[in-house]
């Protein structure tokens, strides 16, 4: 199991966090997702078959690209 914490500058509110948590949570292999609008950070715990590349790509697709990895 891996854990990755990234900054996502596009997070502005609770709706943003719910969208991120819902979308990433649907990926097979993602164990948990926590998004914080105050710190603009997203913490993702995941394992196979999910990969960080797949998670980062989905964040970008839904309009919340990671600023750092």
> What pLDDT does 37 receive?
95
**69, part of any domain:** no
pLDDT single digits (tens) 8-66: 999 999 999 999 999 999 999 999 999 999 999 999 999 999 999 999 999 999 999 99
Cα 45 from Cα 4, distance rounded (Å): 7
50: domain CATH number is 3.30.70.100
**16, part of any domain:** yes
Task: Report how many domains make up the chain.
Answer: 1
Cα 36 from Cα 1, distance rounded (Å): 21
**67, part of any domain:** no
The answer to whether the CB of 8 falls within 8 A of the CB of 67 is yes
> What pLDDT does 68 receive?
60
Q: Which domain holds residue 27?
A: 2-61
Closest by CA position to 7, among listed 67, 50, 60, 48:
67
**31, part of any domain:** yes
Say if residue 1's pLDDT is above 80. Answer: yes
Give the sheet arrangement for strand 30-36, strand by strand: 2-7, 41-46, 30-36
**36, part of any domain:** yes
**10, part of any domain:** yes
pTM for the whole structure = 0.91
């Amino acid at each position: 199991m891996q854990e990755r914490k990234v900054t996502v500058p596009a997070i502005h509110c609770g709706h943003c966090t719910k969208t991120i948590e819902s979308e990433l949570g649907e990926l097979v292999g993602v164990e948990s997702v926590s998004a914080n609008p105050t710190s603009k950070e997203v913490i993702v715990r995941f394992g196979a078959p999910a990969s960080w590349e797949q998670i980062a790509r989905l964040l970008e697709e839904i309009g919340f690209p990671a600023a750092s990895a």
